[in-house]
Chain A
């Protein structure tokens, strides 16, 4: 049986007394070869990698880079690999080779990534199986397999670079030294003293679900760096569908889930949708149960007690193993916080940015603190200050030492400007009120935070954003490309009803609908400044809901039908394709073609097509109806 307390103390002291560079960090993290560093599954089997295997691989990559590319010294090497064990091996391998990893966000537009790569003078990127069209040479890490001699001395680098999230798509590169990340990790002592659930194990293991990419600051620091110091386990997903996530969490016994608010909001929405489909009575029972467990927790009952009470629901969600959850990256709705906490999963709100790393997280075990919407108190490695205009300023040993914006090096000032408006309560807990640029002066002269308005809205659409546009408080709603007029009209009516309940001073007066993307597809949130730029550049066009004829298409959604026809054309030479033609009988395709077609549809529309027993559902028209129902 592992003595967790002793382990934490030993590793903490070891890091504190070391040089705190990446080499020291690696040596401490990988000191126990037998521990499991990562797990993944194929749906049935679980594959495990130990710290020992990973260490061997790191040495191989580093040695092979030194040997095969002797000119590569102290240079940036891109990591063009998705979050996986191979990403971790590449990260440490590059550092051990004396080079510096650039953590490519390969969901960025290619042009932006290429620009950043050229800024950093990156000549090589490491890839694993998948190829990217970056303007650098790509090395498959499977070719870096030479074993280093036992006495080989690695010369470690001590800097990494990463970009900001896909929200703003700005050309901004952030640099960190080992010492800065180490200072962040040394907050562990404080963290664990204030919330021992963070080190709680399930059946002897502590496992983190790697949902956030490791090239994102949240993933890199909160998931990988914090927990690899203590040689804990990371669980990688096979794909990001809801079914896979739930299955993986239960299969592996994941204990920690760190995710962005979008994840928790989606979970909240889907759970409520599922419950409401079961009928009004079930919905009422569910709401009562949630209210009861919230009350029990408020009265000081253990959170695990709530989970046991709602076992029937939690067993269908994450199961009994999840003990600690963090959300961060943007605001989270109070209702979502309350629901997840009431179910017995302690969800804590945190705060951080790419430039300053993770700086605070709610650590209180009290229910009221967890659902208050606070971002907690600053961690020991940083200090917070609220400027006169209400902006949150941060300084400390764990923030980045250097930025590069549009190719220019920017040395940070003493206090880093977050551009977030914050307030602090008498207990020292901080609350983010909104982005400084987004604050809007209302008709009554008061400051209006669009975030606060969005928190009170529950809209069944792809994205929505409250922002100031042409001096008007505007609500922009992005609907699915395939949403029917009927659906849009329904959303419009629902939104109108919700807006009517808001205070007139904070009620958006302008309602805009669009089928275009309000933000980059992979962005965690919509950047209001970014949205304004998109509108100015005519990259987003809005339409008037009143002009829609909701009775016009009681049949099939034409956009979906057209898209499906274009997909089906890949499988058959029959032209033109009659929407009523059976895929196999009339278009001459096989069952194998149908399986591939289903995969294409699932990928294209983001749905999970069932296999139907109705003849009509194998026609293009029938498939379109099914897709429409699934999207609705």
Chain B
């Protein structure tokens, strides 16, 4: 009784600290199947990114006390710490002496209907990789029949950060192995299956984070960007922007989901023109490193906030690629000028295949657009809009090669070139 009171007292008093320091965003593989309200016993298997994972998991399941397998180091470091850990539900695991008495204690807890948290990696992973899983939780799950709930956490703890957690569907070992005494190979295989599941959840979490980030209709962090959009939209008053082939009800400038806009680049205001046309969506623009100059930090900050993604064209800028992939994966619109630079003489140079690579990686369609400056007047512009198509539709291959990507860009080039011819004829 006393330990129960102490536990809830500690939990209540620690909650403000948790609330301030650990902001959690939870994703569910299937919210109806498994969510944070778990009835009955369960084994929660979680990857170990930080010591704060324990605090995360304690507060994850409201009104339920969770028991957690903890290493002997926690108990031997300090006797008061050991006592605290025991009170909050620690099950001591003595890795040093290779003793497994925690198995009986864990089984007892599960038989009583408790939630048991296991970090099967046994150690905190400092490099973000998911280490090998120890199989004890599989043996417990097989013996007791309780479900395993796999959880992936990205370990992104911090005062101004947010930790993302994905809760997977329940796994019943009995569905994969009915033997009362499974063999070593069976236990190993089941263990690997759960580990793989956690890894896949980690990969899918990135997609969910992207969707979260790039599809939110309202968020404070987009304030500057949305303000910028509004300001650019107001340029319409002074601008005479005409759209050609905009489609029924102008649906070509109202894309849903991810899109790569591929356009020619003749003036520095080309991005603004396209943002004006696609004002309904937040458009991210791939911008050369030359635009970001160190001596203008405020400008760099504003450019970044307005949606410019810096790319170093002289190096293999993997960060930029990853950022682009995150935008597209999250359903955002990316503007790419495949020339790589401004061509004031309005020539359409060789197109680099980066846009096709991004499109094939993410599966989003590419839309070719020709920006035609009708006269030397900067505010008279015609946009010729092409049909959005995916790489698979353009080259009819699931996994295109380098040549295929080049041919896709040639296709874009051809379309934009044809728009250019059309524009010049209409002159």
Q: Which A residues form the contact surface with B (CB < 8 A)?
A: 41-45, 238-239, 582, 584-585, 591-596, 599-600, 602-603, 610-615, 618
Chain B residues positioned under 8 Å from A595 (CB to CB): 135-136, 139, 184, 187
Report the separation of the CA atoms of residues A611 and B104 in the bound assembly, to the nearest whole angstrom: 6
Chain A residues positioned under 8 Å from B191 (CB to CB): 592
Residue-wise interface mask of B (88-101) relative to A, using a CB-CB cutoff of 8 A (1 in contact, 0 not): 00000010011111
Inter-chain contact A42/B100, CB cutoff 8 Å: no
Report the separation of the CA atoms of residues A602 and B139 in the bound assembly, to the nearest whole angstrom: 14
Q: In the assembled complex, how far is the CB of residue B259 from the closest CB belonging to chain A, in whole angstroms?
A: 46
Q: Is B145 an interface residue (CB 8 A)?
A: yes
A to B CB contacts below 8 Å, 28 in the list: A42-B172, A42-B174, A42-B178, A43-B143, A43-B145, A43-B146, A44-B41, A44-B172, A45-B145, A45-B172, A584-B98, A585-B98, A591-B100, A591-B136, A592-B135, A592-B188, A594-B100, A602-B181, A603-B181, A610-B101, A610-B104, A611-B101, A611-B104, A612-B99, A612-B100, A612-B101, A613-B94, A614-B99
Chain B residues positioned under 8 Å from A41 (CB to CB): 145
Report the separation of the CA atoms of residues A610 and B143 in the bound assembly, to the nearest whole angstrom: 13
Q: Quick one: closest B residue to A585, CB to CB? A: B98
Number of chain B residues whose Cβ lies closer than 8 Å to a Cβ of chain A = 31
Chain B residues positioned under 8 Å from A611 (CB to CB): 99-104
Q: Is B406 an interface residue (CB 8 A)?
A: no
> How would you classify the secondary structure of chain B's contact residues: helix, strand, loop or mixed?
loop
**Known A42-B172, A43-B146, A43-B174: A596·B98 in contact at CB below 8 Å:** no
Q: In the assembled complex, how far is the CB of residue A82 from the closest CB belonging to chain B, in whole angstroms?
A: 12
Chain A residues positioned under 8 Å from B41 (CB to CB): 44
Chain A residues positioned under 8 Å from B143 (CB to CB): 43
Inter-chain contact B99/A613, CB cutoff 8 Å: yes
Chain A residues positioned under 8 Å from B144 (CB to CB): 43-44
Q: Quick one: closest A residue to B174, CB to CB? A: A42
Q: Which of B40, B101, B134 has the most CB of A within 10 A?
A: B101
Q: In the assembled complex, how far is the CB of residue B133 from the closest CB belonging to chain A, in whole angstroms?
A: 11
Chain B residues positioned under 8 Å from A613 (CB to CB): 94, 99, 101
Q: Is B220 an interface residue (CB 8 A)?
A: no
Chain A residues positioned under 8 Å from B99 (CB to CB): 611-615, 618
Report the separation of the CA atoms of residues A614 and B146 in the bound assembly, to the nearest whole angstrom: 28
Q: In the assembled complex, how far is the CB of residue B139 from the closest CB belonging to chain A, in whole angstroms?
A: 5
Chain A residues positioned under 8 Å from B139 (CB to CB): 595
Chain B residues positioned under 8 Å from A618 (CB to CB): 98-99
Q: In the assembled complex, how far is the CB of residue A409 from the closest CB belonging to chain B, in whole angstroms?
A: 41
Report the separation of the CA atoms of residues A370 and B247 in the bound assembly, to the nearest whole angstrom: 90
Q: In the assembled complex, how far is the CB of residue B319 from the closest CB belonging to chain A, in whole angstroms?
A: 40
Q: Quick one: closest B residue to A243, CB to CB? A: B111
Report the separation of the CA atoms of residues A602 and B182 in the bound assembly, to the nearest whole angstrom: 12
Chain B residues positioned under 8 Å from A43 (CB to CB): 143-146, 174
Q: Quick one: closest A residue to B99, CB to CB? A: A613
Q: Quick one: closest B residue to A612, CB to CB? A: B101
Chain A residues positioned under 8 Å from B135 (CB to CB): 591-592, 595
Within 8 A of A (CB), among B23-53: 40-41
Within 8 A of A (CB), among B374-399: none
Within 8 A of A (CB), among B229-257: none
Within 8 A of A (CB), among B175-231: 178, 180-184, 187-188, 191
Chain A residues positioned under 8 Å from B271 (CB to CB): none
**Known A43-B144, A43-B145, A591-B134: A596·B184 in contact at CB below 8 Å:** yes
Inter-chain contact A44/B134, CB cutoff 8 Å: no
Chain A residues positioned under 8 Å from B104 (CB to CB): 610-611
Extra pairs beyond A612-B100, A612-B101 (16, CB < 8 Å)? A42-B172, A43-B143, A43-B145, A43-B146, A44-B41, A44-B172, A45-B174, A239-B180, A592-B184, A592-B187, A592-B188, A599-B181, A599-B182, A610-B101, A611-B101, A614-B99
Report the separation of the CA atoms of residues A44 and B43 in the bound assembly, to the nearest whole angstrom: 12
Q: Quick one: closest A residue to B140, CB to CB? A: A595
Q: Quick one: closest A residue to B101, CB to CB? A: A613
Chain A residues positioned under 8 Å from B365 (CB to CB): none
Q: Quick one: closest B residue to A582, CB to CB? A: B98
Chain A residues positioned under 8 Å from B100 (CB to CB): 591, 594, 611-612
Chain A residues positioned under 8 Å from B97 (CB to CB): 615
Q: Quick one: closest B residue to A247, CB to CB? A: B111
Q: Is B147 an interface residue (CB 8 A)?
A: yes
Q: In the assembled complex, how far is the CB of residue B247 from the closest CB belonging to chain A, in whole angstroms?
A: 51
Report the separation of the CA atoms of residues A602 and B97 in the bound assembly, to the nearest whole angstrom: 23
